[in-house]
Amino acid sequence: MSAQPADEGFGQGGPAGSRSLLALAGRRFLRNGLGMTGAVIVLILILLAVLGPSLAPYNPLTQNYHLITKPPMPGHPLGTDDLGRDELSRMLYGARLSFGVSVLSVGLAAIVGMPIGMLSGYYRGWVDDIFVMRITDALLAFPGLILALAIAAFLGASFTHETIAIGIGFVPGFIRLARGQVLSEREREYVASAQSVGSGTRRILLRHILPNTMTPMLIQATLAMSGALLADAGLSYLGLGVPPPTPSWGTMINTGMGYLMQAPWLVYWPGLAITVAVLGWNLLGDGIRDALDVRLRQ
């Protein structure tokens, strides 16, 4: 990488500074092959989640008893499952479900975690110390999947419950990140100058500090997406996700386990789809982080 002036891209939080930083990061991202691959995979995932059901050649629930566990063949390019349902159509519907659960759970975690973290970091004091930090410590004591399993188990299996169960595990991450960002941002000069011209707390947090903390949040959210996809796969494999017959990639693997010898493709396709989807979000997250990471330019 060519040598660049050390202070390039370091905006002081002002509009001009952040715009040039973003432009620089954007250019760097476009040159990053792995990051771009991730972006393309994620774009395809979004398209499949939106268009998947209209692309599906069959109704994913229609059973065909003449075509039970058939290998890939013309008309059914991914084969058929134990009830003669078209695997490709089920995969396409499953894409919408997995995408929906992961986006909504990460979104939920961000919407709950960010304001708590920001307020806690801004005001500090005993509420921050005792409530927010200890509660996040306590939440972090539960391995993510265990927490999601337990919550889904007690609430009962459904789309909403699964989304909540997965989302809660990501809340402490967002709280901590937002809090840490605000703790460092609030000491900076632009906050002092906003305070000196009489800006209220809400304005300072929303108009000044929030835009400056969005980048780490974006990276966090991207990487959380891959975690959410994996959690969704695990929960629905165990039968704690969206109940059948709704096609979900994890549930499809579970079905395939019963036909491992006769029809291994029932396990291959959905697992491959999960892997590629998770890989896409990981690559995208890495790419964004690398594009914005100042240290890497040295």
Partner 1 sequence: MGDGVIGRYLVRRILLMVPVVFLVTVMVFLMLHLIPGDPARVALGEEATPQAVAALRAQMGLNLPLPAQYLHWVGQVLQGNFGRSLLDGTSVLKDLLQALPVTFELTVLALLTALLLGVPVGIIAARLRGTLADWVATTLALIALSIPAFWLGILFILYFAVRLHLFPSEGYAPITKGLGANLDLMILPAVSLGLRSAAVIARMLRGSLLEVLGADFVRTARAKGVSERRALWRHALRNALLPVVTVGALEFAGLLGGVVITEEIFGIPGMGQLLVNAIFQRDFPTVQGEVLFIALIVLIVNLLTDLSYSLLDPRIQVAGD
Interface with partner 1 (CB under 8 A): 34, 130, 134-135, 137-139, 141-147, 149-151, 153-156, 226, 230, 233-234, 237-240, 253, 257, 260-261, 264, 267, 271, 274-276, 278-279, 282-283, 286, 295, 298
DSSP letters, 249-262, are HHHHHHHHHTTTTT
In whole angstroms, how close is the CB of 217 to partner 1 at the nearest point?
21
In whole angstroms, how close is the CB of 40 to partner 1 at the nearest point?
15
In whole angstroms, how close is the CB of 23 to partner 1 at the nearest point?
26
Look up residue 184 and give its two tokens: 């460092």
CB nearer to partner 1: give 11 or 180.
180
CB nearer to partner 1: give 118 or 132.
132
The residue assigned the tokens 């400056």 is: 212
Amino acid present at 284 = L
CB nearer to partner 1: give 127 or 141.
141
Between CA 173 and CA 161 the distance in angstroms is 20
CB nearer to partner 1: give 24 or 279.
279
In whole angstroms, how close is the CB of 21 to partner 1 at the nearest point?
22
Cis check for the bond before 71: say yes or no (omega within 30 of 0): no
Of 298, 241, 297, 251, residue with least CA distance to 271? 251
Between CA 215 and CA 222 the distance in angstroms is 11
CA 47 to chain centre: 16
Between CA 257 and CA 264 the distance in angstroms is 8
CB nearer to partner 1: give 11 or 271.
271
Spatial contact of 148 and 87, defined as CB atoms under 8 Å apart: no
Of 121, 108, 92, residue with least CA distance to 213? 121
In whole angstroms, how close is the CB of 167 to partner 1 at the nearest point?
14
Q: Which residues pair with 132 in a beta bridge?
A: none
In whole angstroms, how close is the CB of 148 to partner 1 at the nearest point?
8
Spatial contact of 183 and 120, defined as CB atoms under 8 Å apart: no
CB nearer to partner 1: give 204 or 232.
232
CB nearer to partner 1: give 112 or 279.
279
In whole angstroms, how close is the CB of 276 to partner 1 at the nearest point?
8
Between CA 112 and CA 170 the distance in angstroms is 10
CB nearer to partner 1: give 67 or 124.
124
In whole angstroms, how close is the CB of 174 to partner 1 at the nearest point?
17
Q: Which residues pair with 76 in a beta bridge?
A: 73
Torsion of CA 187, 193, 195, 196, to 10 degrees: 130
